[in-house]
Structure 1
Amino acid sequence: MKIIAIIFLGGGLGSVARFLVNRWLTDRVTSVLPYGTFLVNVTGCFLIGFLVFYLGKFGDQALNWRLFLVTGICGGYTTFSSFSFENVQLVSDHQLFTMLLYTLGSIVLGFLATYMGILLARTI
C-alpha cells in the first residue's frame, strides 16, 4: 500500500505540473501548434532520462524515489516520457524492429482509438 501511495502522490504532483506548464506557455504564446504539450513532452523526456540514469546508480536503495519521481511525477507529467524512454531502451538493447513496431503501432493505433472514441461519443 505504501508503494501505491508514493506513486499516487507523485502522479498528482506531475499532473498539476503539466497543467501549470501548459497553461503558462499557452497564456504567453498564441499559435495553432500545441506548444504547451510540446514543452511538457520534451521536458518530461529529459527528466525521465536524467532520473532513471541518476537513480540507477543507487540501485534498490533508491526504489521509493524512483517510484515517486519516475513512475509518479514523470508519469503524471507526461506518459510520452515513458514511451520515449522505452524506445531508447529498445534501441540500446538492439531491438530496432521492436522499437519501430512499438512506435508506429502506438501512434497509428493511438490516433485510430482517439477517432473511434470520438465517433462513439457522437452516437450517444
Structure 2
Amino acid sequence: MTAVLVFVGAMVGAPLRYLVSRAFPMPWGTFVVNIAGSFILGVLAGAASGSPAYALAGTGFCGALTTYSTFSYETLQLIERKNYMRAALNLVLSVVLGLGAAALGFWVG
C-alpha cells in the first residue's frame, strides 16, 4: 500500500514541477520548487514522519516535485555560460534557503 501512496504523490508532484519550471526562467523554477518542497517536507517530517501521509506527500509528492539533479545541471549551465554571479547566487540561495525552509517547516509541523 505504501508504494501506491508514493506513486500517487509522484503523479501530482512531477507535473507540478514541470509547470512551475516553465513559468520561471532557468534556474528560478527549479529554485522555487526546491524551496517549497523543502518547507513541505519539513512540515511533514515534524508532524507525520512514518505515517501514510508522509509516504504520499513527503516521499511521493515532494520527491517528484524537488530535484537536486536539475539544480546541479542548471548551475553548471550558468557556469558554462560564464554567468558566475547567477550561478553563485543560485547555489548559495538554494542551499541556505532550502535548509532554512526545511527547518522552519519542521518547527511548524
Q: CA deviation at 1:19?
A: 0.7
Matches of 1:13 and 1:52, distance apart in 2: 19
Q: Would you identify which runs of 4 or more consecutive aligned residues in structure 1 move more than 6 Å? A: none
Task: Quote how far apart the aligned CAs of 1:11 are.
Answer: 1.0
Q: Could you tell me whether the CA contact under 8 Å between 2:8 and 2:60 is conserved in 1?
A: yes
How much does 1:78 deviate? 1.0
1:35 maps to 28
Partner in structure 1 of residue 11 of structure 2: 12
Larger Rg: 1
AA in 1 matched with 2:38: C
Q: Aligned partners of 1:46, 1:35: CA distance in 2, in Å? A: 17
Q: CA RMSD in A?
A: 2.3
Identity across matched positions, percent? 32
| Residue 21 of structure 2 is aligned to residue 22 of structure 1 | yes
Task: Write the distance in 2 (CA, Å) between the matches of 1:42 and 1:3.
Answer: 25
Q: Which has the higher contact order (CA 8 A, sep 6+)?
A: 2
**Amino acid of the residue matched to residue 40 of structure 1?**
V
Matched, 1:73 2:29: no
Measured in 2, the distance between the counterparts of 1:79 and 1:4 equals 20
**What letter matches 1:70 in structure 2?**
G
2:52 maps to a residue whose letter is: N
Number of paired residues?
A: 72
- AA at the equivalent of 1:10: G
Where does structure 2 lack aligned partners over 5 or more consecutive residues? Answer: 69-97, 103-109
Shift of 1:72: 0.4
2:27 maps to a residue whose letter is P
The answer for the alignment partner of 1:94 in structure 2 is none
